[in-house]
Amino acid sequence: MKVGLTDHPRLYARQKSAIDAAIARVIASGRLDWGEEVPAFEAEFANWNGVSQTVAVHSGTTALKVALLALGIGPGDEVITVANTDISTVSAIHFVGATAVFAEIDPTRRTLDPAAAAAAIGPRTAALLPVDLYGQPADMIALCRLARRHGLAVIEDACLALGAEIDGVKVGGFADVTCFSFAPSKHLGSFGSGGAALTSHADLAERMRKLSAYGQSRTRHYVSSPTELCHETYGLNERLDELQAAILRARLPDLATFVSERRAQAGYYSRSLEMESLMLPSPAASTNHSWRNYVIEAPNRDQLAADFHHEGIATNLTYSPALHLHPALLEMGLSRGALPLTEASTDRLLGLPIGPHLELAEIARVVEVAHRILNPR
Ligand SMILES: *Cc1c(COP(=O)(O)O)cnc(C)c1O
């Protein structure tokens, strides 16, 4: 039995009739652009997350970029973030002209350490950009308090943490802007690309809507009568498209169930692997992890990955090595040893299969293989 990290056809089969109907509805409507699906999805997604405003955009990367632009962050500004994240987090900072500054992680949570962030604040710091790694929310309470004290903006990269909670409040309810991705393998996957920026500030939402839609008011274009073009700002064309919005609307009603399935699978892993010589994820108290990834740490990670592969179990290295060790970021001048806690984690991490494309029996198979390879006779 092979166990994979993703299985899009199998996941589609679970929601086929709703997805097929959504696609047919958009095609039959004839409104392939500026239709009703995007604003309807924005309202439903905002409601699901308990936040007043959702701006639906082309990707998680776009969400991060328009959030930074809408907050006025650009050349001369520094943004404090982490090096154990997707390249998109720092690319967004780079492409608005700002400078990323890496701070260390809390090694248990594996997210931005508030004390390290505080130490990294300087005269040019404009924002904190914590990442909710693997579905574990960063310490948003402490980070927002720190930001308020220094007059900084907070942009939260929650691309891996849809549905996660802190003190019973979903991520999205803490930062100035919280960014999500609908890449196919994320919690809520499109059939292409998608993303969203959530905020409770209506003015910020309107700026992000314009920045991602040619600098024009989107609402003007939702009316069917002809209106003169009016570009109020410069703007990109990085909106979510109607088909993806319809597909995401079809999938949203199952999202809570799918997150629960991830929690059950993670619970099974943690109970079954407890006795092994692995560092298991340990969710922070007061948070409800949403388990986009189940990531263990082991000193002999590469051998372990090879052994799993040999047994038909797919694993991944999200995100290893740390970003400052990639060629694109060498210009930062940080070499190995610059971020010891981040490097220790990223050098040892290994992601195991998890998600609603799997049955609990397949998680049990991964566990059985793990026991066998960790305890050779
Ligand atoms: C997926 C992801 C992104 C980028 O999202 P895209 O939709 O692929 O652009 C950014 N940050 C993190 C942490 C992610 O996991």
Residue 217: pLDDT band with limits 50, 70, 90: confident
Distance (Å) from CA 227 to ligand 1 centroid? 35
Residue 1: pLDDT band with limits 50, 70, 90: confident
129 close to ligand 1 (CB < 6 Angstrom): no
Distance (Å) from CA 69 to ligand 1 centroid? 17
| Cα torsion angle, 316, 358, 48, 285, sign | negative
Distance (Å) from CA 373 to ligand 1 centroid? 32
Describe the crossing of helices 242-251 and 16-29 by its angle, rounded to 10 degrees. Answer: 150
User: How far, in Å, CA of 22 to CA of 191, rounded?
Assistant: 12
89 close to ligand 1 (CB < 6 Angstrom): yes
The pLDDT score that the predictor gives to residue 229 is: 85
Q: Is pLDDT at 94 greater than 70 in this prediction?
A: yes
Ligand 1: atom nearest CA of 181 is 7
Work out the average pLDDT over 71-96: 98
Ligand 1: atom nearest CA of 61 is 9
Residue 223: pLDDT band with limits 50, 70, 90: low
111 close to ligand 1 (CB < 6 Angstrom): no
How far apart, in Å, are the Cα atoms of 211 and each of 61, 226, 236, 337? 14, 22, 6, 39
> Which of helix, strand or coil describes residue 198?
strand
Distance (Å) from CA 110 to ligand 1 centroid? 17
Q: Are 265 and 360 in contact (CB under 8 A)?
A: yes
C-alpha closest to that of 235 among 65, 368, 24? 65
User: How far, in Å, CA of 135 to CA of 181, rounded?
Assistant: 13
pLDDT tens, 29-56?
999 998 999 999 999 999 999 999 999 9
Ligand 1: atom nearest CA of 88 is 10
DSSP symbols for 6-48:
--HHHHHHHTHHHHHHHHHHHHHHT--SS-SHHHHHHHHHHHH
Output phi, psi for 34, to 5 deg: 55, 35
Ligand 1: atom nearest CA of 292 is 15
User: How far, in Å, CA of 65 to CA of 56, rounded?
Assistant: 13
How far apart, in Å, are the Cα atoms of 197 and each of 9, 20, 30, 103, 235? 28, 27, 27, 24, 16
Percent of the chain topping pLDDT 70? 98
Dihedral class, residue 161 (left if φ above 0, else alpha if ψ from -120 to 50, else beta): alpha
Burial class (CB in 10 A: 0-12, 13-18, 19+), 168: exposed
- pTM over 0.95? The answer is yes
250 close to ligand 1 (CB < 6 Angstrom): no
Residue 278: pLDDT band with limits 50, 70, 90: very high
